[in-house]
Chain A
Amino acid sequence: ILNVEQSPQSLHVQEGDSTNFTCSFPSSNFYALHWYRWETAKSPEALFVMTLNGDEKKKGRISATLNTKEGYSYLYIKGSQPEDSATYLCAFNNAGNMLTFGGGTRLMVKP
């Protein structure tokens, strides 16, 4: 069983603040790291898929970096908005058929 950890578990920020959170995963046999955004009462939606060490992906105000040698990925949100409130999930794949998900970081942005 692979161990994928996300921190912090929850986060409260003010509108306009920039924030970031971490996904840690085993550094051996890495293949892909996925980030999903999950709003309450909706389906998780894919944000990024990352495969290369040093990779950086960006989608609007959200970006992610990847360090496969040390086994972590950061997700950054610049200028948080209330609509960014969601749970952010990372999922690790080490060449099997299964994704192993972290527990998620629940972000709440106050207006």
Chain B
Amino acid sequence: NAGVTQTPKFRILKIGQSMTLQCTQDMNHNYMYWYRQDPGMGLKLIYYSVGAGITDKGEVPNGYNVSRSTTEDFPLRLELAAPSQTSVYFCASSNEGRLTDTQYFGPGTRLTVL
């Protein structure tokens, strides 16, 4: 099992550009999550999904969009990149989304918007 994979690992964008961060998991997990991590701030939830075709906003969804057409994939879209979106982005998944379920994280994508 590869677990949770993310691409790309690094990216530099100009203000106003768009991009999609890819996330794939091969554990057949129903729940998937996108977080951003800013220095000293912990992980903030952007969006999450409880299964294919279902997505919901987290704490900081503005400026992002997601889709979940399959169980495996949960891409995160930035339409108009802004410097405030410079961050490290983590994708995660969990089996049932129960409150005690461990979340398994990908290696992260480091995004810089200039």
Using a CB–CB distance below 8 Å, which chain A residues touch chain B?
Answer: 1, 4, 6, 9, 31-32, 34, 36, 41-46, 49, 51, 89, 91, 93, 95, 97-104
The answer to whether A102 touches B105 (Cβ under 8 A) is no
Q: A31-B99, A32-B99, A34-B102 are in contact. Are A43 and B45 (CB under 8 A)?
A: no
Which of B13-21, B36-44, B67-75 lies on the face that meets chain A?
B36-44
Please name all residues of chain B whose beta carbon is closer than 8 Å to the beta carbon of A42 when the two chains form the complex. Answer: 107
The answer to whether B42 touches A43 (Cβ under 8 A) is no
Among A32, A36, A93, A103, the residue within 8 A (CB) of B41 is A103
Residue B56, interface by CB 8 Å: yes
Q: Count of chain B residues with Cβ under 8 Å from any Cβ of A?
A: 26
The answer to whether A104 touches B42 (Cβ under 8 A) is yes
The answer to whether B97 touches A99 (Cβ under 8 A) is no
Measured in the bound complex, the distance between the Cα atoms of B51 and A34 in whole Å is 23
Q: A42-B107, A43-B106, A97-B48 are in contact. Are A102 and B90 (CB under 8 A)?
A: no
Please name all residues of chain B whose beta carbon is closer than 8 Å to the beta carbon of A97 when the two chains form the complex. Answer: 31, 48, 50, 56, 97
9 A/B residue pairs, CB under 8 Å, sorted by A? A6-B42, A43-B90, A49-B100, A89-B43, A98-B45, A99-B43, A101-B44, A103-B41, A103-B42
